[in-house]
Amino acid sequence: MTKRILFLGENWFGSCARACCHALRRLGCEVADFDAQTIFPQLRRRSLRAILRVAEPQLIREYNEQVRELAQRFEPDIFLAFKGAYVQPRTLRTMREAGIALYNYFPDTSAFAHGSLLSHTLPLYDCLFLTKRFLDRDLRAHISLRESMFLPHGYDPELHQPRELDARDHARFAHDVGVVATHSRAKEELLTELVTLRPQLDLRIWGNLWKENNRSSRLGRFIEGAPLNGTSYAKALSAFRINLALLSGPVAGASRGDETTTRTYEIPACGGFMLHERTDEVLELFAEGTEMACFGSATELADKIDYYLAHAEERGQIAAAGRSRCVPAYSYDNRMTEIIRWHEQHSIGEVDRLPA
pTM as predicted: 0.93
Candidates 10, 349, 341, 5; CA nearest to 151 is: 341
The domain locations on the chain are: 4-154+332-346, 167-326
Residue 352: predicted pLDDT: 44
The answer to whether residues 82 and 7 touch, using CB atoms and an 8 Å cutoff, is yes
Q: Kindly report, residue by residue over 212-269, the tens digit of the pLDDT.
A: 999 999 999 999 978 899 999 999 999 999 999 999 887 777 888 899 999 999 999 9
- State what percent of residues in the chain have pLDDT above 70: 97
User: Which CATH class for the 167-326 domain?
Assistant: alpha beta
Query: What are the angstrom distances between the C-alpha of 291 and each of 131, 275, 304, 320, 330?
Result: 22, 10, 14, 8, 14
User: Which fold would CATH assign to domain 4-154+332-346?
Assistant: Rossmann fold (3.40.50)
The answer to whether residues 9 and 21 touch, using CB atoms and an 8 Å cutoff, is yes
Residue 80: predicted pLDDT: 98
Mean pLDDT of the chain: 94
- Ranking 44-53, 146-155, 165-174 by mean pLDDT, the lowest is 44-53
Query: Could you give the CA distance from residue 288 to residue 292 in angstroms, rounded to a whole number?
Result: 5
Res 61 pLDDT > 60: yes
Q: Kindly report, residue by residue over 301-324, the tens digit of the pLDDT.
A: 999 999 999 999 999 999 999 999
Res 165 pLDDT > 80: yes
Confidence bin at 348 (pLDDT 50/70/90): low
- State what percent of residues in the chain have pLDDT above 90: 83
CATH fold match for the domains 4-154+332-346 and 167-326: yes
